[in-house]
Amino acid sequence: MRHRYSILFFPLHVIIDFLSLNTAFVGAYWIKFQTLEAVSEAPYASLWWLFNVIWLVEILVLKPYIYPRQLFKSGHLVRQLLLLTFIHVAIIAVCWIAIQGYYYSREHLLITYIFFLALGAIFRIGGVLFLKEYRARGYNNRRYIIVGYGKLANTIRAFYDVHPEMGFHFCGYFDEPTVENSEFLRGEYEGLIDYIRTNHIDCVYCCMPYMDNERLKSIAENAETFDYQVKILVDFRGFLARSTSIEYHDVLPVLNLSSGLLSDFRVSILKRSFDIVFSLLALILGIPLFLLIAAITRITSTGPIFYAQERIGQGGKPFKIYKFRSMYVDAEKTGPVLSGGLLDNRITPWGRFMRKTRLDEIPQFYNVLIGDMSVVGPRPERQYFIDQIVEIAPEYRSLLSVKPGITSIGQIKYGYAASIDEMVQRLRYDLLYPKRRSFLFDMWIIAQTLRVMAQGRGK
């Protein structure tokens, strides 16, 4: 018989909690009064019954013992116990005030809840540890198959392979056979339902990128008949925003992938206000330094002091970025070329020093002031290189949702990139920024940038 043990978890959980609650109540009474003779008499008999009735109502209303195997973890169960106990305490407190039951010992109540939490936590943690070991040995398993073979299918299988304590036993892939997948398949769609019935499959994972709605409909319609669960997998990796939410248009659920953080008005206003103040102070107070750098740039090599180049900003909008010139004139006369690092022979000796100390980036405070850039943000690139980066790492497009910056995590941790591969490696750092953007995080990046400049460790 399938699930012959799983059906016992719910009543066992209920019984253990009631035993813990009553043991705690009686034990606390003995500790407080050193006797058990009057615990079943008025007035404590009424309180004892009230304890049990309230806990029963919580179980019936909140259904706290119904959860998937993925949530059967010590931390989740203990947090749930704390929540249920808090609700229980609150209701008892209201009843205590309503009946003016000041004759009940508050010390007894405190000890009761401490004992109950201790017993409940011990049983939950012990039960989870036992069940993990029990399932890891091959018992109490759920048999599952995956319909639709591909990367997403391999991901869900790998997840259960590294978590044997969840008790999911893989029974095969099903899909239309192709040259690429034929060696991995257990069977085709035509034999799927027969396989589920004869092999007592408990769960069917359907990978939507690799199967159509008609197949899914057929699988779902047979689920009740043959007693199996249907779970749908959709691959949102690479573009799923942190603040994703579900909106309902009448009865139609719509997944909103727009990040609430990036459109948050207060965050945007605070960041822009800081950019204006900071860039103004940098431009005004840095005038003596600017003049010195400009003079040395002019003296050490022939050509203009400043260098302007088109970059791609927020939303894909092009703008002119300004720097102190660190290369010889006509360094890119044959077309766009990435810098080869500090050893690039196109860089002037003075330019190497400016790059190591980030001094060549100072004119970009003007870009910040006029709104093309921010003090902190992913470094802007040219369209020529963006096209190549996107072919390797499509997630780069997410960086265009925020303003580019003078400094970034990638600049601190990686520095200048001398090839497309290095740009992709630096991208891994910059991709953290849109997800973690905040004023304090910006301050941390600025502090790290100042440290790099002072130590001359830029590259």
Average pLDDT, rounded, for the chain? 83
Q: Are 203 and 228 in contact (CB under 8 A)?
A: yes
Least confident range of 65-74, 136-145, 160-169, 251-260: 251-260
Same domain, 125 and 49: yes
Does the structure show a pLDDT above 60 at 111?
yes
What's the whole-number mean pLDDT along residues 409-432?
79
According to the model, what pLDDT value does residue 101 have?
79
Residue 257 within a domain: no
Residue 390 within a domain: yes
Same domain, 166 and 109: no
Q: Domain range spanning residue 213?
A: 142-235
Residue 316 within a domain: yes
340-350 pLDDT, tens digit per residue, is: 555 677 888 89
Separation CA 116–CA 85 (nearest Å): 9
* 203-219 core/surface letters (b: 16 or more CB in 10 A; e: else): bbbbbeebbeeebbeeb
What's the whole-number mean pLDDT along residues 370-380?
90
Highest mean pLDDT among 31-40, 59-68, 186-195, 205-214: 31-40
215, 235, 255: which is the final residue of a domain?
A: 235
Same domain, 126 and 192: no
Residue 117 within a domain: yes
Does the structure show a pLDDT above 60 at 259?
no
Q: How many domains are contained in the chain?
A: 3
Same domain, 402 and 317: yes
Instruction: Count Cβ atoms below 10 Å from residue 315 Cβ, excluding itself.
Output: 9
Same domain, 75 and 178: no
Residue 416 within a domain: yes
Least confident range of 8-22, 197-211, 277-291, 445-459: 445-459
Separation CA 433–CA 242 (nearest Å): 12
Does the structure show a pLDDT above 80 at 122?
yes
Percent of the chain with pLDDT over 70: 85
Same domain, 309 and 432: yes
For 417, residues 6+ apart whose C-beta sits below 8 A from its C-beta are: 338, 339, 423, 425, 426
Does the structure show a pLDDT above 90 at 89?
yes
According to the model, what pLDDT value does residue 335 have?
59
213, 235, 257: which is the final residue of a domain?
A: 235
Same domain, 422 and 311: yes
Q: Are 111 and 28 in contact (CB under 8 A)?
A: yes
According to the model, what pLDDT value does residue 189 have?
81
Give the residue from 69, 113, 122 showing the smallest Cα distance to 91: 113
What's the whole-number mean pLDDT along residues 311-317?
89
pTM score, two decimals?
0.45
Give the residue from 371, 350, 364 showing the smallest Cα distance to 408: 364
According to the model, what pLDDT value does residue 261 have?
46
Same domain, 307 and 443: yes
According to the model, what pLDDT value does residue 156 have?
87
Phi, psi (5° rounding) for residue 432? Answer: -70, -25
Burial of 53 (0-12, 13-18, 19+ CB in 10 A): exposed
Residue 205 within a domain: yes
For 283, residues 6+ apart whose C-beta sits below 8 A from its C-beta are: 365, 366, 369
Residue 243 within a domain: no
Same domain, 179 and 303: no
